[in-house]
Structure 1
Amino acid sequence: MVKYFCNNTDVRSTWDLVVSAFWQRYPNPFSTHVLTEDVVYREVTADNRLLSRRLLMKTNRLPRWAEHIFPSGISRSVYIIEDSIVDPVNRSLTTYTWNLNHTTLMSVEERCVFQDTVEQPATTQLKREAWISSSVYGFSRPIQEFGLARLKSNQVKSMKGLEYALSNLQGEAPQRPLRDSVKDAAKSLASAAAAPQKPQQYI
C-alpha cells in the first residue's frame, strides 16, 4: 500500500524569477533541517533543457513511538537525490526527489512541476505529487501516516523558503531571460575538454 499526496499552488511571481529562486532557496530560516546541498551532475541538452542532479542531506527526526522500535544508533540524517529538468521553451521546471537511505523504514518519492501560465500573468503554477511507502511489517500504516503528516508540514516550510528566496531577489537587478542563460551554459559546456558521465535518469 502506498500513500499518495497531491497539491496545487499558485506562486505569485513570474516563472523566470521562481526558477532563479529555486536554485537559491537554501539556506533559509524555514528549512534548517536541510544541512547540505551539492550539484553532482549538470548538462545542457541540444534542445536547451538544463538537466541537474543534486545530493541533499537533511535531518530525520523519528516519531517517539519509533524510537522504541529502532536502534538508538540509527542515523538521523537522510540523503536525498533531486533530479531536475528546466525547459525554457515550454517554460517548465520539473523536479524528482527520493531518499537513498532508510528506504525500508520509509520511502518518499516526490514530483514537482513549476509551470508558467498565460491565463494568470506573473503567476507560476506548482503541482506537487508524492508517494509514501514503508516495508516495516505491522507498522507500515502508521509510518506512512507519519510520513504524510511530515510531508505536509515540510511543504509549508518549503513554500515559505521559496518565498524567502523570492523576496531576496526582488531587490536585485532584473534577471536575464532564462533561455539566454541556458544558451550561455551550453556554450560553456561545449568548450569543455571532457564531460562527466551522464547518470541514469530517474524518469
Structure 2
Amino acid sequence: MKFFSQSFLYDDPWSIVSLAFFLRYPNPYAAHVISCDVIDRHQTESGSLLTTRLILKRGALPRWAPQGIISRAESWVIEESEVDPFGKFVRCRTKNLDHVKVMQVEETQLFEQNEDGRTVQTTEAYITSRFGWGMTKRIESHGLARFKAHVQRSRQGVSLILDLIRQARLQPMALGSYITHLHSEHSFASTDTPTSSHSSDNVAHVPEDHSSHTTENTWLGKIWGSR
C-alpha cells in the first residue's frame, strides 16, 4: 500500500473554490474524464448537501504491464461528497469500482476556509494492489506516480474554472451560460504544465513553474470569445 498526502492553499474564499471544484469537468487538464453524472443528491436535516456522482475515466497501461491484465482501459469511479455551508467545508471521497484487484485508489479531499478567508485543500489517497505475481509493489509505485501527476492537473483545472468565475463577474453574460457552452465542447487538448501554488507535500515537493499556458489561453478564448 502507498499513501499520499498534500495540502494546497487557494487565495479565493471557500464558497468560490467549492463551486469551481464541482464545475471542474470538463476542462483541458482532464482529457481522461469521459463522463460525469449525478446519480443522487439530497439535503440532510442539518443542512448539508450530499451528492453521489459516477465518473468514467480513461487510462493507459504502462508498457511493462502484462497483456490482458485488465479487460478495458476505462474505469468507473464513484464520488461521494458532503457540502456543509455552516461549517464551511467540503469533504469528497472517491474510489474506482473496477480493476480493484490490479489497483484501487481511495482518495479523500477536504476543502476548509482559513481564518484569513482563504481556502485550504487537503488531499489524501491510499493506492493498493492485490495483483500478486511479484508485481504488487511495482504497480503501487506506478499508481502513486500517476496519482501525483493527476493531482497537479486537477488543481490546474480547478484554477482554470476559478478564472472563469472571476471573469464571469466582469461579463454581461451569466456564468451559467458560459458553463453551458463549456460543457458543449467535446475536444480538449491536454497539457502537463505544472501549476504554481502554495503547497506542502509529504511525498514529494512540486516546484513552482510560471511558464505560459498556451493551451489554456486558447481554450479560454473559445469560451469567452463566443457570445
TM-score (norm 2): 0.72
CA contact (8 A) 2:58 2:74 kept: yes
Aligned position for 2:16: 17
Structure 1 runs of 4+ aligned residues shifted over 6 Å read: none
Confirm whether residue 92 of structure 1 aligns to residue 79 of structure 2.
no
Aligned position for 1:7: 6
1:23 and 1:131 map into 2 onto residues whose CA distance is: 22
1:114 and 1:29 map into 2 onto residues whose CA distance is: 23
Confirm whether residue 169 of structure 1 aligns to residue 165 of structure 2.
yes
Q: Return the offset for 1:29.
A: 0.5
Q: Return the offset for 1:72.
A: 7.7
2:135 and 2:95 map into 1 onto residues whose CA distance is: 21
Q: Return the offset for 1:60.
A: 1.2
CA contact (8 A) 2:79 2:94 kept: yes
Confirm whether residue 153 of structure 1 aligns to residue 168 of structure 2.
no
Between the two proteins, the alignment pairs up a number of residues equal to: 169
1:49 and 1:70 map into 2 onto residues whose CA distance is: 45
Aligned position for 1:53: 52
Confirm whether residue 130 of structure 1 aligns to residue 129 of structure 2.
no
2:168 aligned counterpart, secondary structure: coil
Q: Return the offset for 1:24.
A: 1.0
Aligned positions of 1:99-114 closer than 5 A: 99-114=96-111
1:38 and 1:165 map into 2 onto residues whose CA distance is: 18
Q: Return the offset for 1:12.
A: 1.7
Which amino acid in the other structure matches residue 48 of structure 2? R
1:64 aligned counterpart, secondary structure: coil
1:158 and 1:116 map into 2 onto residues whose CA distance is: 19
Percent identity at matched positions? 34
